[in-house]
Structure 1
Amino acid sequence: MNDYAAKIRRLQELGPRSSGNDAHRALIEEVALDLTDLGLDVNRDSHSFERWDATPDQIGLTVKGRSIVLSSAWPYSGETPAAGVTGPLIMLRGRLKNWKSASGKIAVIEARNIDVPAHLLFDTWGGELPFHTLSNPVVGSELAGTDLARARKAGVLGVVAIWRDLPDSAAHAQYLPFTRDYQGIPAVWAPESEADALVRAAEAGEEATLTLAADRTPGASMDTLWAVSPGTGPQAKEAVLVVTHSDGGNAVEENGHLALLALAHEAVTVPHNRTIVFVYTAGHLRIPAVTKHGQATTAWLDKHPELWSPTGGGLHAVAGLAIEHLGAKHYSVDSTSGHYGPSGTLEPELLYATTAELAELVRSTWSGVEVGKGHPVKPGPIVQFGEGEPLLQHHIPAVSLITMPQYLLAETNDDVVDIDALSRQVDSFRKLQTHLAGSVDSSAFGKVTVPGKVKKLFAAIRAFRYASSH
């Protein structure tokens, strides 16, 4: 069960697992077989949707006959005819963009990879945060004022978004943003090395041709898996949820099934007091296909209250573990060579604990990036990143790992996983599961307090002011 290196190689063989593609479905079936081999009954929730795909050879941009290097397509943006769409470029600036001025044109916008102070996104449990800033293109892609739906309504032909403050090699093949519904307008990302030329061309209104010959597949499907390991003690009606997701573009995003399978093996091998429910959710990279709010796990919670809700007439979830992005190597730009790649260190962990009691438990049991040390953070009032967020919103005390390297959403087969760190993190989750599924009274896990509307508002204002000034 613990040949993690072989399992990581398997992820690299499969390649990017965008929601519902062949590689994604193949991995789901492999995990289903592994769970079945453990003697667990595997249940399925099938999600049907229209899949959108674009390969690198399906995107292109030429300006006055010169081919522009592109980083990636904007997922679920839209598509052009095979010959593309042609029109003058126009530069749009600011967060509230005048899309109407770009009617009949191809809009050029900029998105900065913002280095956000950690205190704007996370709270602490009476200590220091494990890192001072968070620099991830997920944030920049969401804060760039890129409302493609308004662009489509305004009659814009297409959108070219330029990355700023992100190395070309880090911008390459980023699958961003991944949280939005189909937009109905073609859009692509361009690297910073093309920025100056594109801005000049847009300011001059030069003619360009944008090509995004994406494929749309109606009736695509993907399955969320779940399996139950019954408790054997007096608290068997209480449940511990163990959650991860299956879609991902590289061997870090997402490799959480390695821990899920290891914890499932532990559960069927060693009797446990509480019932453990293992959830392998699909749709993290296509959230609008499975739910109208929250993360993909929200869909499973909504469909199966009998497995977690105190009012569902079945199990009552008293704790949870959400597992994402194990063993992430840190990538950075070498100051001498300018090359973006492994720095020789590990990516700092973003390790959430949603109660003070669980934060203390993490400190005493966790061993991951730092051997023998865990640095839990408290979810901030704006957002909790990752599939642990629905557990927070449903007041289920939980520990969640969601490390966020810059390459997290890049479709790459690079060697991004440190096996030793991954092994320590899996062992740490195993210790947490043993404790949470044991006989200690659930009151020891603490009570979850979700930030109120006023606190969320003030936090959002602070974050918006910071983003507007950078």
Structure 2
Amino acid sequence: MTHGETVDRDQLLSAQRRLDALGPRLTGSDAHHAVVEEVAREFAELGLEVHRDSHTFERWDLPRSADGLRVELPTGPVQVSSAFPYSGITGPAGITAPLVYLEAKRPSWSKAKGAVAVIEVPHIDLPRSLLVSEWGPMVTDETLRNPVLSATLLGPKLEKARKAGAVGVIAVWRGIALDNALGQYLPFTQPYHDIPALWVAGDEGAQVVAAARSGQQATLVLDATLHPGTTTDTVWAVAPGTSPEETILVITHSDGTNGVEENGHLGMLELARHAVAQPHRRSYVFVLTTGHLRIPAVSKHGQATSTWLEAHPEMWKGEAGQARAVAGIAIEHLGALGDIEDTTTGSYSLDATPEPELLYATSREVHDIAAPLWRDIGSGDRRIVAPGPVIHFGEGEPLFERKIPAVALVTAPQYLLALREADAVTHVDLDAMVKQIESFRDLLDAFDATDSAAFGSVVSRSVFAKFSALLKLMQILKRAKTAVRLY
């Protein structure tokens, strides 16, 4: 793919279908390893030297059968929406114990000593202004909704539950469609807790709450397994430029839950093909990061790419004897279709049109470079945003924290972290995916042609803005917990 050419749609479609057929690629799994090795082979076939950074960790694996993930009440089984990742294990027989209902607002975990704690978790909308900032006027009444936010901010505190002597936890989603809750691999950023925990939703959740309120017993089965000594690799390659003292970083991650999360490597490979087809001034560094779905195993602070950056300052830091990264690109969730949820009727389905993009530019100047190049994918929202006062989502975050000017795509439909098995329906709009990759290609060319001083300074979050946003967020979460009531 040279300048002005379009992406090979057939090749891209074939690659996406292979990814869909693999199903979930959880960190360190065989399917995840297959993706990493495929990218490494393609780098090598392009004539690029492949580098590896290996990590070793204890992998927690989901049960292999439906029978290994269940809740049995005296009245019969209830459908489990998903397992709480890296919570704990029960073995095939599970654990049988009384259910104890805990108030969501101020859960007294000690009341659940020797029991299975049941706690409700509201699925909420959050003001967009708390999560992203705008380069233009903010529409103040906009909200964003994603189970990632609800599970992370309002989910059960398993460390407290374990220390208090609870033997298990059932988290009951409130305000979420049953099909939306199904398979959610959430929250995915926590350490291993050594206490089994599950999610249930809808009428099944109502049954669990009623059983807990009446002090019934239940059997909880989470027949997960632990695999110490699991290895996983970040692979990376450099396309040398004529002025290698300056670099442009191109980042994505390899692990994922479905065909959108994560397909960013398909775009990265297209940019690598483009890079080797023509000379360029800066060296392009292509990094396929591992551990996005197992951040505690690879990173002490920040998203998984933080570890690669700390290990390889010679590629970006710009001190004596080191190249300096003048800009970065983070590619995630290409071509993501939208979804439609009706919490009144409980219906949930994929939309026929793309999800509105979440596309960051971390300086005004980078925004102005990207805006005329970015193609309209037909999602109805073409805003390029700035990082919010509290968080920058996705693997572009480590670039932001190190003040490397960057553009990062991290579109977030509600199913983003939901496990989808092999050969399930694709969640990708091919036309949108092609346009996004072509936009990134043109952006890479523009970055290569831009003087280093013209990228501007990465925006900074003021202490006041952080404090104000966190205070408002705490008030919203408090109200959400207070609003949890009987079914």
- How far apart, CA to CA, are the structure 2 residues paired with 1:140 and 1:95? 14
Partner in structure 2 of residue 224 of structure 1: 234
Amino acid at match of 2:222: L
Amino acid at match of 1:127: P
Q: Which moved more, 1:454-463 or 1:221-230?
A: 454-463
Partner in structure 2 of residue 273 of structure 1: 281
Partner in structure 2 of residue 347 of structure 1: 355
**SS in structure 2 opposite 1:469?**
helix
Q: Deviations over 1:31-60 (max 9, x none)?
A: 100111111001000111000011343211
- How far apart, CA to CA, are the structure 2 residues paired with 1:268 and 1:200? 62
**SS in structure 1 opposite 2:371?**
helix
Q: Deviations over 1:187-206 (max 9, x none)?
A: 00102221221111111111
Instruction: State yes or no: 1:420 paired with 2:428.
Output: no
Q: Deviations over 1:380-435 (max 9, x none)?
A: 11100100000000000000000000100011133210000000000000011011
1:246 to 254, 276, 292: 254
Partner in structure 1 of residue 485 of structure 2: none
Partner in structure 1 of residue 400 of structure 2: 392
1:124 to 134, 147, 153: 134
Question: Once the 2 structures are TM-superposed, how far is the Cα of residue 131 of structure 1 from its aligned partner?
Answer: 9.5
Amino acid at match of 1:436: F
TM-score, L = length of structure 2: 0.92
Amino acid at match of 1:393: E
Question: Once the 2 structures are TM-superposed, how far is the Cα of residue 288 of structure 1 from its aligned partner?
Answer: 0.3
**SS in structure 1 opposite 2:331?**
strand
Partner in structure 2 of residue 90 of structure 1: 100
Q: Deviations over 1:280-319 (max 9, x none)?
A: 0000000000011100000100100111112262210110
1:191 to 184, 201, 210: 201
Partner in structure 2 of residue 307 of structure 1: 315
- How far apart, CA to CA, are the structure 1 residues paired with 2:381 and 2:158? 43
Amino acid at match of 2:294: R
Amino acid at match of 2:411: T
Instruction: State yes or no: 1:356 paired with 2:364.
Output: yes
Question: Once the 2 structures are TM-superposed, how far is the Cα of residue 451 of structure 1 from its aligned partner?
Answer: 1.1
Q: Answer whether contact 1:368 1:428 (CA < 8 A) is retained.
A: no
CA RMSD of aligned residues (A): 1.8
Partner in structure 2 of residue 291 of structure 1: 299
Partner in structure 1 of residue 441 of structure 2: 430
C-alpha distance 258-368 of structure 1, shift in aligned 2 (>3 A): farther
Partner in structure 2 of residue 44 of structure 1: 52
Q: Answer whether contact 2:189 2:296 (CA < 8 A) is retained.
A: yes
1:6 to 7, 10, 14: 14
- How far apart, CA to CA, are the structure 1 residues paired with 2:244 and 2:414? 41
In structure 2, runs of 5+ residues without a counterpart are: 1-6, 481-487
Percentage of pairs with the same residue: 48
**SS in structure 1 opposite 2:395?**
coil
Question: Once the 2 structures are TM-superposed, how far is the Cα of residue 96 of structure 1 from its aligned partner?
Answer: 3.8
C-alpha distance 289-248 of structure 1, shift in aligned 2 (>3 A): same
Q: Answer whether contact 1:362 1:374 (CA < 8 A) is retained.
A: no
**SS in structure 2 opposite 1:24?**
helix
Partner in structure 2 of residue 110 of structure 1: 120
C-alpha distance 95-396 of structure 1, shift in aligned 2 (>3 A): farther
Q: Deviations over 1:339-382 (max 9, x none)?
A: 42122221010001100111112211101433898411110111
- How far apart, CA to CA, are the structure 1 residues paired with 2:347 and 2:156? 29
**SS in structure 1 opposite 2:25?**
coil
Matches within 5 A, 1:130-145: 132-145=142-155
1:165 to 171, 175, 192: 175
Question: Once the 2 structures are TM-superposed, how far is the Cα of residue 273 of structure 1 from its aligned partner?
Answer: 0.7
- The number of aligned residues is 467
- How far apart, CA to CA, are the structure 2 residues paired with 1:88 and 1:57? 21
Partner in structure 1 of residue 483 of structure 2: none
Partner in structure 1 of residue 4 of structure 2: none
2:189 to 179, 187, 191: 179
- How far apart, CA to CA, are the structure 1 residues paired with 2:468 and 2:431? 41
Partner in structure 2 of residue 369 of structure 1: 377
C-alpha distance 372-347 of structure 1, shift in aligned 2 (>3 A): closer
- How far apart, CA to CA, are the structure 2 residues paired with 1:372 and 1:455? 29
Question: Once the 2 structures are TM-superposed, how far is the Cα of residue 338 of structure 1 from its aligned partner?
Answer: 5.5
C-alpha distance 221-130 of structure 1, shift in aligned 2 (>3 A): farther
Question: Once the 2 structures are TM-superposed, how far is the Cα of residue 458 of structure 1 from its aligned partner?
Answer: 1.7
Instruction: State yes or no: 1:20 paired with 2:28.
Output: yes
C-alpha distance 115-195 of structure 1, shift in aligned 2 (>3 A): same
Question: Once the 2 structures are TM-superposed, how far is the Cα of residue 436 of structure 1 from its aligned partner?
Answer: 0.8
Partner in structure 2 of residue 382 of structure 1: 390
Q: Answer whether contact 1:94 1:145 (CA < 8 A) is retained.
A: no
- How far apart, CA to CA, are the structure 1 residues paired with 2:388 and 2:176? 25
Q: Answer whether contact 2:340 2:350 (CA < 8 A) is retained.
A: yes
C-alpha distance 48-312 of structure 1, shift in aligned 2 (>3 A): farther
- How far apart, CA to CA, are the structure 2 residues paired with 1:100 and 1:295? 33
Q: Deviations over 1:104-147 (max 9, x none)?
A: 11001111221112112111112346992211000000111521
Question: Once the 2 structures are TM-superposed, how far is the Cα of residue 81 of structure 1 from its aligned partner?
Answer: 3.1
**SS in structure 2 opposite 1:365?**
coil
**Runs ≥4 in structure 1, deviation > 6 angstroms?**
334-337
Q: Answer whether contact 2:104 2:121 (CA < 8 A) is retained.
A: no
Partner in structure 1 of residue 212 of structure 2: 202
**SS in structure 1 opposite 2:67?**
helix
